[in-house]
A and B are shown apart, each in its own frame.
Chain A
């Protein structure tokens, strides 16, 4: 049912806010159907990058291509139409709606019918609504949130809201899924569930997953490629094993002094 994952090419993306450079020449490629993580200390530019990728920020320079189509300059709803789905950092639900209605909003772009079609119950609008509900139930079952559908979204516990958020992003039928800290604030056993969920999304639906996450165990466990950002610049991109031993990455996380210390302890023979 789903289109295969998209290739994401980010080239030379630079974002400036009133003189502060949030992103500077960021370049990397996420291959179709892979899990690609973006990590970095607080303030490294991860959230800015996600806002560029979902059309909220317009970068000063650079290009972002999804399977070759330029994304920069498109309004957010057109970015969604390009096949980019996004789950949010704080799992923000539309509080006045039920879980099912929240998921149905993921289908908004794929549905049909305006004011007149809805108010007069025209057949094509009713058919579109029926299809949307069926798809939403299917996505909800895939992520194990189907028992929550009738609940008001405002009553969801945090962990459940995060899963519903991912389900809502999946309901848009993305070819590229942006996950903004999916495991933030979760217990250990919930993190295991998140890890399995992300793996299943990439494996069973072949969707490209771009992941921002602080939990290194999670990132290194599931990602094929990791891009490390620091001060808005790419420090390195590579498989998890190589990234963790990269001097520049250690410097970014532990500070220059930490890296120097590590280098010293390695260069000096044990006495």
Chain B
């Protein structure tokens, strides 16, 4: 037992040694990619970064507090349609407030948070799978509203997403012209940098929250709510705090996805989208921030990659359309979830730990003989 304990504190030290150089290298590579990659890869990345923000939010709720939510797509939709409604000018057949787009984006994220807060009487009292079932109702209500409230959502045909601009600077557009090392920064490049920056900021925020007394209260509720309460943790309050926080992250991801899509249709924000986000969290290892981001990258880019390379994959290309990339992607990550739950419940996060261990030079055996006490 002491030996196991020693090994793990050694692992922790090894982790710290590796973390800084790995982060620096990853950061440089991520910043340099738009200088070399084409539109396809940049769009793939932007979608992955936006999705990762939503996945981190769901991970906090599912992995750290032990709650289940199937309503993540609902809060993504609140962000997306909130932004469209707030920033579009009103016309005869559609509603809009015509706010400046940056203000609209901020208020839309706040709206998603308010929607999460409004659900807190349930989110605070219900536990685990019971909350999952209750949250299902939100998805169905959301879908019904999205299809029927035509002035708000445009109904089946969807609605255009107004551009996000700060003054005359188009955040996801081309004006004014910018370039970096001679490479023009147009839509795709800007999309990559902006979503990456927001992902980085929200990730740091999430990590700081999870390391604080709030994050410890979350984990205590997950590992033993009665004991957490007996130590002075207000269980219901922290459950609803986590739910609200996760809906803010979903709202932000929803705004960014809408801006990247440029036009959104109701059927995108359905139960299946919630399940995709759960898949990201599970594949990532459930309780890891980095894992949730990796899971989001995997789940959101797989269908796009399959689409692009479908001609090169036997049986997928050509006229046989009922075996399309989206369908194959679902089967692939469905299979992956089964494999992960069976063999590596800590998901991609655990694979990274293993790789680090394999790469860390072993210390001499004598180090293991240090007295434990």
Minimum CB distance partner of A152 in chain B:
B8
A residues in contact with B372, CB < 8 Å: 147
Q: How far is the CA of A101 from the CA of B223 in the complex (A)?
A: 13
Query: Is A105 touching B209 in the complex (CB atoms < 8 A)?
Result: no
User: What 0/1 pattern do residues 110 to 137 of A give for CB contact below 8 A with B?
Assistant: 0101110111110001001100100000
Q: What's the nearest-Cβ distance from chain A to residue B286, in Å?
A: 10
Q: What's the nearest-Cβ distance from chain B to residue A67, in Å?
A: 18
* Contact flag A105-B231 (CB < 8 Å), given A94-B223, A97-B216: yes
Could you tell me which residues of chain B, from 90 to 141, have a CB within 8 Å of some CB in chain A? Answer: none
Does A186 interact with chain B (Cβ within 8 Å)?
Answer: no
Segment of A25-33, A80-88, A230-238, A255-263 engaged in the interface with chain B: A80-88
A residues in contact with B222, CB < 8 Å: 96
Extra pairs beyond A75-B234, A105-B233, A128-B213 (11, CB < 8 Å): A55-B229, A77-B229, A97-B223, A104-B216, A105-B217, A115-B245, A118-B215, A119-B205, A121-B208, A147-B372, A169-B231
User: What 0/1 pattern do residues 1 to 32 of B give for CB contact below 8 A with A?
Assistant: 10011001100100000000000000000000
* Contact flag A76-B230 (CB < 8 Å), given A119-B205, A151-B5: yes
Q: How far is the CA of A76 from the CA of B226 in the complex (A)?
A: 9
Instruction: Label chain B's interface by main secondary structure.
Output: helix
Minimum CB distance partner of A54 in chain B:
B230
Does A2 interact with chain B (Cβ within 8 Å)?
Answer: no
* Contact flag A97-B212 (CB < 8 Å), given A80-B232, A105-B228, A151-B5: no
A residues in contact with B241, CB < 8 Å: 114-115
Query: Is B214 touching A115 in the complex (CB atoms < 8 A)?
Result: yes
* Contact flag A56-B230 (CB < 8 Å), given A119-B205, A155-B5: yes
* Contact flag A96-B208 (CB < 8 Å), given A108-B233, A111-B213: no
A residues in contact with B223, CB < 8 Å: 93-97
Minimum CB distance partner of B236 in chain A:
A75
Partner of B8 from the list A128, A155, A157 (CB cut-off 8 Å) is A155
A residues in contact with B226, CB < 8 Å: 56, 76
Minimum CB distance partner of B224 in chain A:
A92
Query: Is B287 touching A101 in the complex (CB atoms < 8 A)?
Result: no
A-B contact pairs, 22 of them (CB 8 A): A76-B232, A77-B234, A80-B232, A88-B227, A94-B220, A96-B222, A97-B216, A106-B231, A108-B213, A111-B213, A115-B209, A118-B214, A119-B208, A119-B209, A120-B208, A121-B208, A125-B212, A129-B212, A129-B213, A147-B372, A168-B231, A169-B231
Could you tell me which residues of chain A, from 20 to 56, have a CB within 8 Å of some CB in chain B? Answer: 54-56
Partner of B220 from the list A86, A105, A119, A169 (CB cut-off 8 Å) is A105
Does B206 interact with chain A (Cβ within 8 Å)?
Answer: yes
B residues in contact with A104, CB < 8 Å: 213, 216
Query: Is B9 touching A114 in the complex (CB atoms < 8 A)?
Result: no
Does A3 interact with chain B (Cβ within 8 Å)?
Answer: no
Minimum CB distance partner of A126 in chain B:
B212
Does B319 interact with chain A (Cβ within 8 Å)?
Answer: no
B residues in contact with A151, CB < 8 Å: 5, 8-9
* Contact flag A155-B214 (CB < 8 Å), given A80-B230, A150-B9: no
* Contact flag A113-B212 (CB < 8 Å), given A81-B232, A96-B222: yes
Q: What's the nearest-Cβ distance from chain B to residue A254, in Å?
A: 34
Query: Is B1 touching A155 in the complex (CB atoms < 8 A)?
Result: yes
Minimum CB distance partner of A158 in chain B:
B1
Does B80 interact with chain A (Cβ within 8 Å)?
Answer: no
Does A109 interact with chain B (Cβ within 8 Å)?
Answer: yes
Q: What's the nearest-Cβ distance from chain B to residue A108, in Å?
A: 5
Does B373 interact with chain A (Cβ within 8 Å)?
Answer: yes
A residues in contact with B230, CB < 8 Å: 54-56, 76, 79-80, 86, 88
Query: Is A132 touching B214 in the complex (CB atoms < 8 A)?
Result: no
Query: Is B208 touching A118 in the complex (CB atoms < 8 A)?
Result: yes
Does A172 interact with chain B (Cβ within 8 Å)?
Answer: yes
Q: What's the nearest-Cβ distance from chain A to residue B177, in Å?
A: 35
* Contact flag A105-B205 (CB < 8 Å), given A92-B224, A150-B9: no
Query: Is B213 touching A118 in the complex (CB atoms < 8 A)?
Result: yes
Query: Is B216 touching A105 in the complex (CB atoms < 8 A)?
Result: yes
Partner of A119 from the list B1, B9, B206, B224 (CB cut-off 8 Å) is B206
Q: What's the nearest-Cβ distance from chain A to residue B1, in Å?
A: 5
Does B219 interact with chain A (Cβ within 8 Å)?
Answer: yes
Could you tell me which residues of chain B, from 159 to 191, have a CB within 8 Å of some CB in chain A? Answer: none
Query: Is A172 touching B232 in the complex (CB atoms < 8 A)?
Result: yes
A residues in contact with B233, CB < 8 Å: 77, 105, 108-109
A residues in contact with B234, CB < 8 Å: 75, 77
A residues in contact with B287, CB < 8 Å: 96
Q: How far is the CA of A54 from the CA of B230 in the complex (A)?
A: 7
B residues in contact with A117, CB < 8 Å: 212
Partner of B212 from the list A106, A118, A147, A169 (CB cut-off 8 Å) is A118
* Contact flag A118-B209 (CB < 8 Å), given A56-B230, A96-B287: yes
Q: What's the nearest-Cβ distance from chain B to residue A75, in Å?
A: 8
Partner of B227 from the list A92, A101, A109 (CB cut-off 8 Å) is A92
* Contact flag A96-B219 (CB < 8 Å), given A105-B233, A115-B214, A155-B1: yes
A residues in contact with B12, CB < 8 Å: 150
Q: What's the nearest-Cβ distance from chain B to residue A180, in Å?
A: 11
Q: What's the nearest-Cβ distance from chain B to residue A250, in Å?
A: 34
A residues in contact with B227, CB < 8 Å: 88, 92, 94
Q: How far is the CA of A169 from the CA of B232 in the complex (A)?
A: 10
Q: What's the nearest-Cβ distance from chain B to residue A1, in Å?
A: 18
Q: What's the nearest-Cβ distance from chain B to residue A227, in Å?
A: 22
